[in-house]
Structure 1
Amino acid sequence: MAVVALPLLLLLLLGSSPTALVAVAADGEHEAAQFTVLDMTLLKPHDACSGHRVTPSQNGSWVPLYHPLGPCSPSFKGGAARAKPPSLADLLRQDQLRARHIHRMASGDFRVSKGSRKSPVWLEESQIHNKQRMGIDVKYGSQFSRQQVMHGPAAATDDDGGGGDGSSGESSPGVTQTVVLDTASDVPWINCVPCALAECPYYDPSRSTTYAAFPCNSTACKQLGRYANGCVNNQCQYRVNSTSGPTSSGTYGSDVLTLDSHNAITGFKFGCNNNDNNGDDSSGNNNGIMALGRGAQSLMAQASSTYGNAFSYCIPPRDSEKGFFRIGVPGGAPYMFVTTPMLTDRRSPSLYRAALVGISVAGERLNVPPEAFAASAVLDSRTALTRLPLTAYGALRAAFRDKMAAYRRAPATEEMDTCYNFTGVRFVKLPKVALVFDGNNAVVELDKYGILVGGGEDDHGCLAFTANSNDAAPAILGNVQQKTIEVLHDVADRNIGFRRLAC
């Protein structure tokens, strides 16, 4: 009798209907479909690179993408030599600077910030900025060793420079440099140094037979616009400003850019940075910026005739894994993207924008009025956290807290005000979060690594979103929310695409 009693009692509680059992099972499956489980130990630092979780297709030109401070970086030092990572609070303070910079750009404010570059804020940005970035390795120039016959930089062959055939002898394919992808920048640049070493690890323009500085009256120099910085010895000078002051300045020239063993761009235009106090870290973890903005000087503008005016990238979920960067539009059935129109604001034509119209949490669309998303969202590769209009963030926060009520709350960390103490908890049940864009069912479900940040020594984790001060400023879609999603920027067809689980 005892064996029969429990199922009988269950049937009575369910109204003695077998259909009710099916309903309970269906409800359980529905709930499971609206939640995901995150292993908090995977958020902790690792000293070994596990490579690609998903191997990118060989279609088109692509290169590995990695965190410059992570174990997949060639300059990584693990074990006892590994530098102590910056705290979450430090990273968030830096991210506030980046978001402020993007919001200023979005409003059309390109003025240089006043104040000393030696201020604590400037030093803080220089020291920890790398953690927000994703880098790729490319090769600049055609380099010769000191033992080989050198004839100096190639003379300009026409009005715009562009390099010549160089000297006799056998050249190497260039010097490998780690550059950071920046979708909000227009002018590519790298740190340039005179180098006396036989095997120079840095780019030295005087040792490349294909380098040429642009003359001051060249078309390329005139096209710099607000990035122009005068003329020195009839060589065009550029200047790119950052959040806290001048980031990069020096001579504007061209050389061969080698993306991979099969793809190179001759006469690639870039800035040769000679500013020792630039605002971006130049400690060896990265050596410059690969500008991907919509301006005339960016990589995309220069490569469009060969690869088409499009690129995509996939940010890996963790520092110990690799993603990829690709030039051109991926083809074939496996590359199906959810797309939304690419928008342009005349105040900031270089930024990539799209219409974010809604958010869902655990399958339920938030009740946010359309006017809360009045400004189109900016997609940025270097901002970490997604910034939402104030009203939209308030609704997201309330829904997320409701679904996370089983976990202990923790104090706010800087601007992240929805944090939890996961001490003793390894597997965390997270509600799924999806962003809804304008378009035909343009719903983008975020990966579990794009919902929560933390997992450090204190075992705290926070919702990886924060709020703008009002509903007027545009949302910024940060790189945390872009993790594992191939984000396509198709300028030619004016579309933004999202493909989940790509890396």
Structure 2
Amino acid sequence: MFVVLPLLLLLLLGSSPSALAAADEHEEFTVLDLSSLKPHAACSGHRVTPPNNGSWVPLYHPLGPCSPSYRGAAAAAPSLADLLRQDRLRAHHIHSKVFGDFRASKGSYKEPVAVEETQVHHQAAITIEMGTQSTSSQMHGSHSELRIGPAATGDGTSGPPPVSQTVVLDTASDVPWVDCVPCALAECPYYDPARSSSYAAFPCNSSACKQLGPYANGCANNQCQYRVAYSDGSSSSGTYSSDLLTISSGDTVRNFRFGCNQASSSGGGATNGFMALGRGAQSLTAQTSSIYGNAFSYCFPPRESEKGFFRIGVPGGARYRFAMTPMLRDRRAPALYRALLVAITVNGQPLNVAPEVFAAGAVLDSRTVITRLPLTVYGALRAAFRDKMAAYRRAPPQPEVALDTCYDFTGVRYVRLPRVALVFDRNAVVELDRSGILFGDCLAFTANDDDSMPAILGNTQQQTIEVLHDVGGGNIGFRRQAC
């Protein structure tokens, strides 16, 4: 028998998301309109008015209708199996940074997967512009872009127009990079350093080249070479360079260091590079620390047809508007952002697990899709969730993608979901949005191989929450219903 909500609840809630939110604000359960998670063909913009102070840019899914490179319905999404196999590789990449490749490779991560589209699907991206700009309309116009390229000349003249680039936000890497010419396409969308008068390649004996550390890749024609490798076997390599970076409303970073990728393509035409946000010296946040205090935040939208935002700097009043928890430091994985997860609650009740099971902490990652939990913690969460969802018909598990708590919602539009909250050190309680509890009609969590590995907080669970990475202040903050 299919399960439907009581008639009274349907009459009260209708199909309005705002009505849903208001009606269940103080209830044990939260009501999810399944139709609200369905993809739309057109971009509906921001659900919540984005912040207008500080340096911020709109954020979007690179394969969704809000992306400048959207190819319409013809660009079919990868299968759930391919997407989550790719996500498993990402989790392996994170754990290998903490434990080393040998320790992290205990799990079955090395499965073949097509990476051209899956590596950027369900990711967060922003638009940058590379190339010459004018001072008026392009330097102080729309807040929708980050730009790299020379400033205009003193008389206001400009060279060739800049080329828009879509770059994926990556909190677990250090070296920003963009695709550079040459490319095989007739109308090349790549950044052309030859058109930028402020472009410079770093010499091999420069301090910037010496600071590359594990990302150094030798020397070519006395130009410093870099290489960044990813868990799926892809990589970016080329010349380590600098140019002028313009952020949102005219703020500039001179001599911004980035990789000019000349060896591979990043996302099958949907993206043109990665904006590294890690804690290494080469990342965007480290390079802008003197201007913005070594901090950034983002808010992922709940579906691909909506926009979120990315912001550099600490928002005003963060101490009062954000649930704050200390940022952990780990010498084994200095680039990662970690916090101490101390409990998980379901309908306000903590899971019955020993506190020491959470000792490995949690990594916050922008590109992992599904949250990974210590084995014991996941087992307890699964049991509590299944108990609260007992009225709904179960669907077969999907073991090939590690989703084992799935439901058949055929004929059901409104689902009563138990409230799930993550509790971090210093009582920073973060209740997940209803859109972050299910993924493909399954519980949007899975388990690590054991209890020793840290949890990984994926971007599905971060949806609608502004997540602040205040490196300078040593804190991570969470603000609910931000986008």
Sort the TM-score into its range (normalised by shorter chain).
0.7 to 0.9
**2:132 and 2:151 in contact (8 A); partners too:** no
2:463 maps to a residue whose letter is K
Query: Equivalent residue of 2:288, what SS?
Result: helix
Change (3 A) 1:95 1:361: same
- Percent of pairs identical after alignment? 68
| From 174, 177, 187, the counterpart of 2:165 | 177
**1:227 and 1:239 in contact (8 A); partners too:** yes
| From 463, 476, 481, the counterpart of 1:483 | 463
Change (3 A) 1:426 1:173: same
The within-5 A match list for 1:95-114 is 95-109=87-101
**2:132 and 2:158 in contact (8 A); partners too:** no
Indicate the residue corresponding to 2:132 in structure 1: 142
CA deviation string 1:432-468 (max 9, x = no partner): 10000001x21100000010012xxxxxx00000000
**1:239 and 1:246 in contact (8 A); partners too:** no
Indicate the residue corresponding to 1:127 in structure 2: 117
Provide the rounded CA distance (Å) in 2 between the counterparts of 1:333 and 1:308: 13
Query: Equivalent residue of 2:117, what SS?
Result: helix
Indicate the residue corresponding to 1:252 in structure 2: 240
Query: Equivalent residue of 1:129, what SS?
Result: coil
Measured after TM superposition, the shift of residue 258 of structure 1 is: 2.2
TM, length-normalised to structure 2: 0.86
TM, length-normalised to structure 1: 0.83
Task: Please tell me the root mean square deviation across aligned C-alpha atoms, in Å.
Answer: 2.7
Indicate the residue corresponding to 2:255 in structure 1: 267
2:459 maps to a residue whose letter is N
Q: Does 1:417 align with 2:411?
A: no
Measured after TM superposition, the shift of residue 386 of structure 1 is: 0.5
Q: Does 1:45 align with 2:47?
A: no
Query: Equivalent residue of 1:105, what SS?
Result: helix
Measured after TM superposition, the shift of residue 232 of structure 1 is: 0.1
Query: Equivalent residue of 1:289, what SS?
Result: strand
Indicate the residue corresponding to 1:74 in structure 2: 68
Change (3 A) 1:296 1:304: same
Change (3 A) 1:334 1:471: closer
Q: Does 1:217 align with 2:197?
A: no
Measured after TM superposition, the shift of residue 127 of structure 1 is: 2.9
Query: Equivalent residue of 2:92, what SS?
Result: helix
1:121 maps to a residue whose letter is P
Indicate the residue corresponding to 1:202 in structure 2: 190
1:69 maps to a residue whose letter is L
| From 229, 254, 277, the counterpart of 2:217 | 229
Measured after TM superposition, the shift of residue 31 of structure 1 is: 11
Provide the rounded CA distance (Å) in 2 between the counterparts of 1:102 and 1:188: 18
Measured after TM superposition, the shift of residue 202 of structure 1 is: 2.1
Query: Equivalent residue of 2:410, what SS?
Result: coil
| From 226, 243, 246, the counterpart of 1:238 | 226
**1:138 and 1:257 in contact (8 A); partners too:** no
1:301 maps to a residue whose letter is A
Q: Does 1:468 align with 2:425?
A: no
Change (3 A) 1:429 1:173: same
Indicate the residue corresponding to 2:390 in structure 1: 405
Change (3 A) 1:327 1:173: farther
Indicate the residue corresponding to 1:19 in structure 2: none
CA deviation string 1:177-209 (max 9, x = no partner): 110000000000011113799986320111111
2:432 maps to a residue whose letter is L
Change (3 A) 1:203 1:31: closer
Larger Rg: 1
In structure 1, the gaps of 5 or more residues are 1-28, 114-118, 145-161, 455-460
Query: Aligned residue pairs: how many?
Result: 440
Provide the rounded CA distance (Å) in 2 between the counterparts of 1:52 and 1:135: 15
Provide the rounded CA distance (Å) in 2 between the counterparts of 1:239 and 1:492: 28
**1:312 and 1:489 in contact (8 A); partners too:** yes
Change (3 A) 1:204 1:167: farther
Provide the rounded CA distance (Å) in 1 between the counterparts of 2:272 and 2:89: 21
Measured after TM superposition, the shift of residue 166 of structure 1 is: 8.6
Indicate the residue corresponding to 1:426 in structure 2: 413
**2:133 and 2:152 in contact (8 A); partners too:** no
Change (3 A) 1:214 1:230: same
**2:299 and 2:482 in contact (8 A); partners too:** yes
CA deviation string 1:190-245 (max 9, x = no partner): 11113799986320111111111000000000000000000000000000011133
Change (3 A) 1:142 1:75: same
1:395 maps to a residue whose letter is A
Query: Equivalent residue of 1:316, what SS?
Result: coil
Q: Does 1:329 align with 2:314?
A: yes
1:187 maps to a residue whose letter is V
CA deviation string 1:8-33 (max 9, x = no partner): xxxxxxxxxxxxxxxxxxxxx99961
Provide the rounded CA distance (Å) in 2 between the counterparts of 1:424 and 1:230: 60
Measured after TM superposition, the shift of residue 368 of structure 1 is: 1.0
1:491 maps to a residue whose letter is V
**1:384 and 1:480 in contact (8 A); partners too:** yes
Indicate the residue corresponding to 1:496 in structure 2: 476
Provide the rounded CA distance (Å) in 1 between the counterparts of 2:431 and 2:42: 29
Indicate the residue corresponding to 2:347 in structure 1: 362
Query: Equivalent residue of 2:174, what SS?
Result: coil
Indicate the residue corresponding to 1:340 in structure 2: 325
1:267 maps to a residue whose letter is N
Provide the rounded CA distance (Å) in 2 between the counterparts of 1:51 and 1:174: 24
Change (3 A) 1:295 1:109: farther
Measured after TM superposition, the shift of residue 263 of structure 1 is: 2.1
Query: Equivalent residue of 1:128, what SS?
Result: coil
Measured after TM superposition, the shift of residue 332 of structure 1 is: 3.7
Provide the rounded CA distance (Å) in 2 between the counterparts of 1:210 and 1:353: 37
**2:358 and 2:374 in contact (8 A); partners too:** yes
Which is worse superposed, 124-133 or 185-194?
Answer: 124-133
CA deviation string 1:236-276 (max 9, x = no partner): 00000111334100000001122223222221100011113
